[in-house]
Amino acid sequence: MDIYKIPQPVPVDIIYNVRIICNRMRELNQFNKIVLQKFSSRQAYTFIKGQYVPIIMNGIQDESIMDLDKRKYYVQNYEFQMLGYLIDEEEFEVKPAINRILTMMEVPNSPSVGKKNEITPKNPNEFELDFLYVTGNTVLSELMDYTVNMNVAQTINISTWDVYVNNQYFGTDVFNILINTNDILRIEITKENNSKEAKIIFSNKLL
């Protein structure tokens, strides 16, 4: 597993409008149903170049009009805001992570002198894993190299989080996650303060 270092992203918020024009209210209601279901929590995500980018629906306006022939056209105006960011891919830095190595040493059987040293760590199968969300980023994905039981030990600057395993919704504010080897874990968060970094600290146990 490698360690990826990325430059500080530059936030870029894009506001745009989508207008739907119909001559029957029934058709307009069908479009409204699709949009409102997609943005039931006021926020949805789009996938751009391997990254999930949030989109917020700011509002809906009725702009229905009557033409000269007295035929009414139904116009619905949706305002969206995409919370994007810019990152220079050439500034990415990839370094190999430190792999765990088990070292064994044979010693002669002799009486020990003084107090017996405590083995550190007590359990090498338990370790911490941090998910660090830099400013402007609320989504992280990780390809897991092992089967592990993950427990949320601490959250920093996070009000709520959604967990996805292999792109399948797992749950909201989940404190215990069982991950298998080669699973893709994705965690999408809502920050308490969007101008600061956020972090989820997991206490993991290999299975």
**pLDDT tens-digit profile, the chain (207 residues):** 567 677 777 788 889 899 888 888 888 888 889 888 888 888 888 888 777 889 999 888 888 876 656 677 888 899 999 888 777 777 767 766 655 555 666 666 655 544 555 544 456 678 888 888 888 889 988 888 888 889 999 999 999 999 999 988 888 998 988 888 888 889 999 999 988 899 999 888 887
Q: Domain residue spans in the chain? A: 2-89, 122-206
Cα(204)–Cα(147) distance, integer angstroms:
10
pLDDT of residue 119: 45
Q: Give 122-206's CATH code, choosing from 2.60.120.260, 2.60.120.10, 3.10.200.10, 3.40.50.720.
A: 2.60.120.10
Rounded to the nearest 5 degrees, what angle is found at the Cα of 41, between the Cα atoms of 65 and 140?
125
pLDDT of residue 206: 85
Q: What is the DSSP string of the chain?
A: -EEEE-PPPEEEEEEEEEEEEESSHHHHHHHHHHHHHHTTTSEEEEEETTEEEEEEEEEEEE--EE-TTS-EEEEEEEEEEEEEEE--GGG-EEEEPPPP-------------SSPPPPSSS-TTEEEEEEEE-TT--EEEEE-SS-EEEEEEEEESEEEEEEEETTEEEEES-SEEEE-TT-EEEEEEEES-TTS-EEEEEEEEE-
Q: Is the peptide bond before 121 cis (omega within 30 degrees of 0)?
A: yes
CATH code, 2-89? 3.30.2000.40
pLDDT of residue 111: 53
Report which of 34, 19, 16 is spatially closest to residue 75, judged by C-alpha positions: 19
pLDDT of residue 160: 92
pLDDT of residue 156: 92
